Amino acid sequence: MLFHVEMDVRLPHDLPIDKADALKKTERERAQDLQALGKWRHLWRVAGRYANISIFDVSGAEELHQILSTLPLFPFMEISVSPLCRHPSSIREDDT
Query: Residue 94 has what pLDDT?
Result: 72
pLDDT for residue 85 is more than 70: yes
pLDDT tens for 23-55 read: 999 999 999 999 999 999 999 999 999 999 999
Three-class DSSP category at 92: coil
Report the pLDDT value the prediction gives residue 86, as an integer from 0 to 100: 86
Q: How many domains does the chain contain in total?
A: 1
The whole domain housing 34 covers 2-84
Question: Is-contact 84 2, C-beta < 8 A?
Answer: yes
H or E segment at 59?
none
| Residue 75: inside a domain | yes
- Mean of per-residue pLDDT scores for the chain: 96
- Asked, for residue 92, whether it belongs to a domain, the answer is no
The count of other CB atoms within 10 Å of the CB of residue 73 is 19
Give residue 93's pLDDT. Answer: 78
Residue 35 belongs to a domain: yes
Determine contact, residues 20/75, Cβ cutoff 8 Å.
Answer: no
